[in-house]
Amino acid sequence: MRLTGTWHGTYVYGPLYGPLASKAVPFTMSLTETWPRRIAGYVRDDATKGGMPERGRVLGRRRGTSIEFEKTMPNHYVMRPDGTLVSLSEAAAEQGVELPARMPPHRIRYEGTLSADGQQITGTWRIPMPGGSGENGRGTWSARRTSELPLEV
């Protein structure tokens, strides 16, 4: 069973996020699986519920029922204590911190397991620190296929 299709799901912030821990953010993901089990597509978070406002890119692979992919977002965002989302550059400027003119894309690594009927995925996500020396956060996610066609998100 291929992963090609449109998927609706949520990701949930883990315990490192303090007051945001357990907050669920809806998303829509459009995937195409090609040979040999490569996954490519796009994802859009629900920005009204705390998700990132831009469309992200998904690249990864499937091995049997195991799925792993990297979600790359064009910009970094941080959550203020009141729950509003702001760009990292805006938050840094508010604190008087200067960031490099060009920041690398924001990458989140996802792992999951496809259900036996091929219609659901559950798993974990994490934000690796630059250089692979740890992580900046983690949580869980799940998604359900809503269409066999990869719709534009």
From 137, 146, 139, 144, select the one nearest 11 (Cα to Cα).
139
Q: What is the pLDDT along the chain (153 residues), one digit of tens a residue?
A: 799 999 999 999 998 887 788 999 999 999 999 989 999 999 999 998 888 999 999 999 999 999 999 999 998 888 777 777 888 889 899 999 998 888 888 899 999 999 999 999 999 999 987 666 677 789 999 999 999 999 999
In the chain, the amino acid numbered 135 is: E
Instruction: Give all domains of the chain, ordered by start, each with its CATH number.
Output: 5-77+105-147 (2.40.128.20)
- Cβ-in-10-Å burial (0-12, 13-18, 19+) of 64 comes to exposed
Task: Give per-residue pLDDT as tens, 13-48.
Answer: 998 887 788 999 999 999 999 989 999 999 999 998
